[in-house]
């Protein structure tokens, strides 16, 4: 199978519509900046819960502070980055980790609801 066919199959298993949000920093003129959410992409995604504590690195676990953690999947061509927001319906998640699957059809990682 070609990469485009594998990508289509992987995307078909991502049942949710979502918006990938980044942040644009605009100087405020006083030496700081204002953060403005920016839409990076509207795409399909998958979310699943039940992440075990042992699956989370100490660095990621330190960021959680009691939040619910989920696994996510995005198409491999999504411009996702750690710290981006993933909006699914009325829920927003922060991407905590990100890796591309070995077959390069899916990006996956952990996210926490904010």
Closest CA to 14 of 50, 39, 48: 48
pLDDT score at 2: 72
pLDDT score at 114: 85
> Which two tokens mark 26?
């605009």
- Looking at domain 3-25+33-113, its CATH superfamily turns out to be Bacteriophage SPP1 head-tail adaptor protein (2.40.10.270)
CA torsion 68-73-79-84 (nearest 10°) is 0
Provide the whole-model pTM.
0.77
pLDDT in tens, 66-91: 778 898 999 888 999 999 999 999 99
> Is the CB of residue 80 less than 8 Å from the CB of residue 98?
yes
Reading phi first (left if > 0) and then psi (alpha if -120 to 50, else beta), residue 101 is in beta
pLDDT in tens, 22-73: 999 999 999 999 989 999 999 999 998 866 656 666 676 666 667 788 989 9
């Amino acid at each position: 199978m070609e990469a485009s066919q594998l990508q289509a199959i992987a995307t078909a298993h991502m049942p949710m519509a979502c918006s990938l949000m980044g942040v644009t920093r605009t100087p405020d003129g006083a030496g700081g900046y204002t953060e403005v959410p920016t839409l990076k992409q509207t795409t399909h995604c998958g979310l699943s819960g039940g992440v075990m504590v042992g699956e989370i690195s100490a660095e990621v676990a330190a960021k959680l502070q009691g939040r619910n953690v989920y696994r996510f999947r995005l198409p491999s061509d999504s411009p996702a980055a750690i710290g981006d927001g993933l909006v699914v319906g009325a829920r927003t998640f922060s991407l905590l980790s990100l890796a591309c699957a070995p077959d390069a059809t899916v990006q996956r990682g952990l996210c926490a609801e904010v």
